[in-house]
Amino acid sequence: MVIEGNHEIEPQASGVTFKSYSERFAVPATESGSNSNFYYSFDAGGVHFVMLGAYVDYNQTGAQYAWLKEDLSKVDRAVTPWLVATMHPPWYNSYSSHYQEFECMRQEMEELLYQHRVDVIFAGHVHAYERMNRIYNYTLDPCGAVYITIGDGGNIEKVDVDFADDPGKCPSPGDNVPEIGGSCPLNFTSGPAKDKFCWDRQPDWSAFRESSFGHGILEVMNSTHALWTWHRNQDVYKDNSYGDQIYIVRQPNLCISPATSSRRKKRDIRRRK
């Protein structure tokens, strides 16, 4: 499954964009209730995947947000306990490249994903690797999602090496503006980076980051445990070598989503009747 990114815009003289993306890939948009190939969902095993479009309207008044709200409300965590979202650009990113570029999208959509207890959110765009601690609204939160930037598959633009917290590497608020959509740069309102646009060290929400090309594998073990492993291109597989590895653990009894809570209440009412 695929989702559009900035390289798929491909503007043509006639004003047409995303032509190759739209014609080349078949995605289950209609099957998931979406009217657009730029956002859709599907199930694979015990995982419900939500594919989000960052280069079409993502505002709370738009069609994508309405579809997302409806799609998430239908997820039955007894059938697909894992909920994974994917979009091209990351919302959390401590590299200078694309720093806070899609802060507008985060402000519009993050609360909805958090309310439904999305477990993992994958992104690319930044040509490097970074894994975040569980986070919501720039605050460490045991019920927040694990954000992973896995934009390190290889490209002609080279790997991103500068961190926004490196001396002299903090971009200006006007440096990273998306090709489509608005710009919403913000200063942090609490913590060690309060009133600043960038941290002066690796942020507490950034658990691991490295400027290497590679790829990752997510192995869903059961309804509460999944193993995430990131391999550098140069890692030697026969030595069981890897760059980063963690178990992602769900805590459904602690992090109850509104949808799950609502279903439980309805079941309890039916039992009492």
Residues designated as active site: 98
Closest CA to 135 of 148, 125, 123: 148
Residue 227 phi, psi dihedral angles, 5° rounding: -105, 120
Query: What is the Cα–Cα distance from 211 to 198, expressed in whole angstroms?
Result: 19
Closest CA to 176 of 89, 247, 259: 89
Q: DSSP letter string over 89-109? A: S-SS--BSTTTTTTHHHHHHH
Query: What is the Cα–Cα distance from 238 to 200, expressed in whole angstroms?
Result: 39
Q: Is 239 helix (H, G, I), strand (E, B) or coil?
A: helix
